[in-house]
Amino acid sequence: MDLEKLFRPKSMAVVGISKKNPLSPGRIVLLKNEFEMDVDVYGIYPSGGEIEGIKLYERLDKLPIIPDLLVIAVGPDDTLEYIKECGDLGIPTSVIIGGGFAEIGGKGKKRQEQLEKIAFENDIAVLGPNCLGVYAPPIVDTIFLPTERITRPPKGSVALISQSGGVLVDQFFVKFNERNIGVSTAVSIGNRAVVDEVMLLEYFSQVDQETSNIAFYLEGFKEGKAREFLQKAKESEDTVIVYFGGKTREGKVATQSHTASLAGNYKIIYNALRQHLVIQPHSERELLTSLKVYDVLSQRRNPFKNNVVTYGNVAIVSVSGGHAVLASDMLKKYGLNAVRFSPQEKRDLKGFMNPTAQEIASFNNPIDLTGSVLDTDIEDVIRYLSSIERIECIILLLLPYPPNISFQIGRRIANIVLSKNKPTVCFVPYVSKYSIIIESLELANIPVFHSIKETVQAVSALKHRTRVNNIKKGNYSWE
Amino acid sequence: MDLEKLFRPKSMAVVGISKKNPLSPGRIVLLKNEFEMDVDVYGIYPSGGEIEGIKLYERLDKLPIIPDLLVIAVGPDDTLEYIKECGDLGIPTSVIIGGGFAEIGGKGKKRQEQLEKIAFENDIAVLGPNCLGVYAPPIVDTIFLPTERITRPPKGSVALISQSGGVLVDQFFVKFNERNIGVSTAVSIGNRAVVDEVMLLEYFSQVDQETSNIAFYLEGFKEGKAREFLQKAKESEDTVIVYFGGKTREGKVATQSHTASLAGNYKIIYNALRQHLVIQPHSERELLTSLKVYDVLSQRRNPFKNNVVTYGNVAIVSVSGGHAVLASDMLKKYGLNAVRFSPQEKRDLKGFMNPTAQEIASFNNPIDLTGSVLDTDIEDVIRYLSSIERIECIILLLLPYPPNISFQIGRRIANIVLSKNKPTVCFVPYVSKYSIIIESLELANIPVFHSIKETVQAVSALKHRTRVNNIKKGNYSWE
């Protein structure tokens, strides 16, 4: 199946347009692609005519071309007719927005079986039914919600595949945007009657050049597909991340894994995924944190060029004692350790400080520079720590409340990180007046978080990726 | 000790002002109180003179009045001299900003013992040392960080007491502001040499009229004070919430409780606190969620007048199936249950819907109204559910992405809640274009959350409070 034409179509047609209701799904999809996206768009309407200056064709076979993609926004029985027509005309891909299939059981289930039969016989890559479809900027967007109502995430390296459309546009788009995580293609798979997680994993791993990280939000594997998924995940050159949402984790995962001949409890699934080098965040927040750092590592201007966090050895630098303690407390949970400084290193560190801070700062790791700190103290400390080889990553808890920290501090730190390439993750409070500090760091692709927990999670994510990369490169295989 | 004069001083003096350094802590405190707060401010400077038009007095005994409060921002040995002088002159309260006491061990510990002796002998309410002190709007603010750098929380019903100053101004002030949680007084207790959690609990319970909720962020109880704290918590008419941060929870709590003759593990402390009607959130986020709903319940215009959430019986209303599932999954963890609807109730609910949504919406609880929903459907459903007595609380997951939901929906829901007084908590995505919906609800004091988890936590918080209130009122005593 030609998924390339599903995600990067040159042309698309839309059926299910209402002339009366400007908010009908088909009409929204028609107009948003015509006015906002790069794909060539054709509308189908039984009596022809036009909408907002777009000519409407009476039938699919009256179109001047064979479109790469057909978006179907009609009832379930008519949907089947259109899929048949795709087969007849040679339309290679389709997004089915509407429901009325397996999710309603009974006759819906039969309909879905018919749908699968037609699609596989005619080699049509059908996405859905019962889904939002594809968001692949700048080419195509089949999400039938008005663009001005949803939040579009920035462009980037993450292919995002979700079993729930609502979770995709709300939980992910909103939070990707907040965190500045970039998406290559977002896919709502709905009932995944034809195109499923295995095909998508294969496509984004092997075909799509824009994607470096493939993230799945699933409520369970498709029946019988778990083994194949695991195998493809292990072979993928991209970083594969799977998060099971909802009750799925212990519930549906277990069920699905059973039919896929894996033992029926989550621990076994967890271990199987781990062995197959799939990264599994423990929460939705950790998923977002991981994607943020992986997206950064995929940038051409990756600030952590020599990123290897094998053991999780970190140095924590804070200007607040309480924050340093909270961060330290979390290290163990995330498999990280604070390196120990030698007496000479402590003396060196102390030597960098201004006289006032020198008296009260502590250098045990966590390093507490205190509220008496100056920009130059922070700079010198970060530069020094960057040169210590056994420190794999620096956690900088940067609270700009002390009066002597300047608003240039973000740029100053960015310059050091970019010259030293030591992985450095920063906490900066999410307060609009500090946006210049946050932006200075993020413009240099240095990830900034707004909770201590996420900052620590980020290092853990770097460690997971180092492990996966080492095994994939055959460097070693440790568990 | 007269804590009223510490938190509501009519006059204050500041020692430790630098004429050279505009960012010295003493100078910042002097100026921010003079220019931003209501208290009368006097500065002390050995050679007199003035700063920014404020006359400086050479010594404390040269002041024209005896101030209610002395803020001390000098080194530790000089600090002791000033505390002695407070005793001599009859200054009843003091905030000691600087460190050099018990936290550095050795001679610092001895200094702190001296400090305690003088303070108790002379009945001086000393806050600190090694603290940020008091933020009691609009009267006094001893936080030595520039106001323009920190985020001040709104005014409200919560007395907030923190063992860490950094955590207070960053984790709490920032997040109280984001969530619109109101503070009556915020206190950074530092080494709590004299004024401790027991005195503060007593003061805010019995004296302060502005406080209805007393929240503690502690790293452990003060040695020997656990029992007294528990007793006072049980007697308090306010809602008492304690959150142990950092390693404390299993670590320091255990130590402190040992010396307080309580068995040395967290589970026992947890149960003791529970028995003494202290509410204990499981995470910092849950603490914030609880305070948000308790602050709302303390408002004169409390929208949930007949708030009784005894069993945790909820109805979930969503416009996204995925969100409904995620919320349902969390109910059990938080001790809540989805009520079952009778066939008649389901028919009634279905009857409210527009024809399109009627076909696809589901009414099992969670109710999924689907993306085809209209404002009037939501209104009718909420009004109907509000009239069902066995539903104690409604969880409304309001995603305004579907095109037919209007931007008046917040106000429309608010009107129903205000007329029915059924506790209703809402999820609305945290996206600036939806601020009109969020504000419509919050202006009516209906709490809005931006994560599904926090929305569910909010109902759990209401249930905890119902339990505590019932026992305090002697209605019954169930565990």
Are B246 and A164 in contact (CB < 8 Å)?
no
Confidence bin at B268 (pLDDT 50/70/90): confident
Residue B262 has pLDDT above 60, yes or no: no
Per the model's pLDDT, the better-predicted residue between A479 and A297 turns out to be A297
Interface membership of A247 toward B (CB under 8 Å) = yes
Spatial distance between the Cα atoms of A66 and A50, rounded to a whole number of angstroms: 20
Is B403's CB within 8 Å of A326's CB? no
Q: How many CB atoms lie within 10 A of CB A299?
A: 14
Nearest CA-CA distance, residue B24 and chain A, Å: 9
How far apart CA A256 and CA A254 sit, in angstroms, is: 6
- Split at pLDDT 50, 70, 90, the class of B248 is very low
pLDDT (average), residues B408-419: 96
Burial of A259 (0-12, 13-18, 19+ CB in 10 A): middle
Structural tokens at position A202: 């294969």
pLDDT given for residue A246 in this prediction = 55
Determine what percent of chain B is predicted with pLDDT higher than 90: 81
Shortest Cα–Cα distance, A166 to chain B (Å) = 6
> Residues B162-190: what's their mean pLDDT?
94
CA dist A373 → A380, A386, B132, B259 (Å)? 11, 19, 17, 37
Tokens matching residue B242: 């304690």
Q: Do B403 and A247 touch (CB under 8 A)?
A: no
Residues A77-97: pLDDT tens digits?
Answer: 999 999 999 999 999 999 999
pLDDT at residue B208, as a whole number = 95
Q: CA-to-CA distance for B257 and B223, rounded, in angstroms?
A: 8
State whether the Cα torsion B252-B256-B259-B265 is positive or negative. Answer: negative
Interchain CB contact of A207 with B (< 8 Å) = no
How many percent of chain A have pLDDT more than 70?
A: 95
Measured in whole angstroms, the distance separating CA A118 from the mean position of its chain's CA atoms is 32
Of the candidates A28, A246, A371, the beta carbon closest to that of B403 is on A28
So what's the pLDDT on residue A325? 83
All residues of chain A having their beta carbon less than 8 Å from the beta carbon of residue B108 are none
Mean per-residue pLDDT, B49-58? 95
pLDDT digits (tens, 9 = 90+) for A301-352: 899 987 789 999 999 999 988 888 889 888 988 999 999 999 999 999 999 9
CA distance to partner chain B, nearest, from residue A444 (Å): 24
What's residue B265's pLDDT?
60
Q: What is the model's pLDDT at position A108?
A: 93
Question: Are B445 and B301 contacting, i.e. CB atoms less than 8 angstroms apart?
Answer: yes
pLDDT higher than 90, residue B335: yes
User: Which parts of A279-354 fold into alpha helices (H)?
Assistant: 284-297, 321-331, 343-351
Average pLDDT over residues B73-79: 96
Would you say B70 and B12 are in contact if contact means Cβ atoms under 8 Å apart?
Answer: yes
pLDDT exceeds cutoff 90 at A104: no
- Which residue has better confidence, A251 or B340? B340
Residue holding tokens 């079993």? A163
What ipTM score was computed for the predicted complex, to two decimals?
Answer: 0.85
Query: H or E element: which one contains A142?
Result: none
Q: Cβ contact (<8 Å) for B169 and A247?
A: no
Least confident of A37-41, A50-54, B111-115, B245-249: B245-249
Q: What CA–CA distances, in Å, run from B460 to A53, A243, B179, B268, B388?
A: 53, 26, 18, 22, 20
* Average pLDDT in chain B: 92
Nearest Cβ partner for B325 among A174, A246, A326: A246
Chosen from A170, A253, A405 to mutate, greatest number of chain B CBs within 10 A: A170
Min Cα separation A169/chain B (Å)? 9
Which chain A positions have a beta carbon within 8 Å of B403's beta carbon? 23, 28, 145-146, 149
- DSSP state letter for A279: B
Residue B391 pLDDT > 60: yes
Q: Is the pLDDT of residue A250 over 60?
A: no
Which of A23-37, B357-371, B398-412, B418-432 is predicted with the least confidence, judged by mean pLDDT? B357-371
Contact (Cβ atoms closer than 8 angstroms) between residue B404 and residue B374: yes
Contact B326 A245 (CB under 8 A): yes
pLDDT at A257 over 50: no
Q: In this predicted structure, what is the pLDDT of residue B260?
A: 34
- Whether the per-residue pLDDT at A263 is higher than 80: the answer is no
User: What span, in angstroms and rounded, lies between the C-alpha atoms of A421 and B276?
Assistant: 53
Minimal-distance CA residue of chain A relative to B218: A322
The residue ranking higher by pLDDT, B5 or B266, is B5
Whether residue B195 is predicted with pLDDT greater than 90 in this model: the reply is yes
Instruction: Identify the pLDDT of residue B455.
Output: 97
pLDDT of residue B264: 46
Tokens of A227: 């083994």
Interface probe with A: pick from B170, B175, B217, most Cβ of A within 10 Å = B170
Give the distance from residue A300's alpha carbon to the nearest chain B alpha carbon, in angstroms.
Answer: 30
Q: Which residue from B170, B321, B325 is facing A323, i.e. has the nearest CB?
A: B170
* Residue B256 pLDDT: 39
- From first CA to last CA, the distance across chain A in angstroms is 37
Q: Which residues in A lie closer than 8 A to residue B145 (C-beta atoms)?
A: 371, 401-403
The answer to whether A39 touches A93, Cβ cutoff 8 Å, is no
Q: How far apart are the first and last CA of chain B?
A: 37
> DSSP letters along B181-209, please?
--EEEEEE-TT-SSS-HHHHHHIIIII-S
Mean local confidence (pLDDT), B272-300: 93
Chain B (408-447) residues lying within 8 Å, Cβ to Cβ, of chain A: 429-431, 433
pLDDT at A249: 41
Q: Does A301 touch chain B (CB under 8 A)?
A: no
Main-chain phi, psi angles of A278, to 5 degrees? -90, 130
Chain center to CA of B170: 13
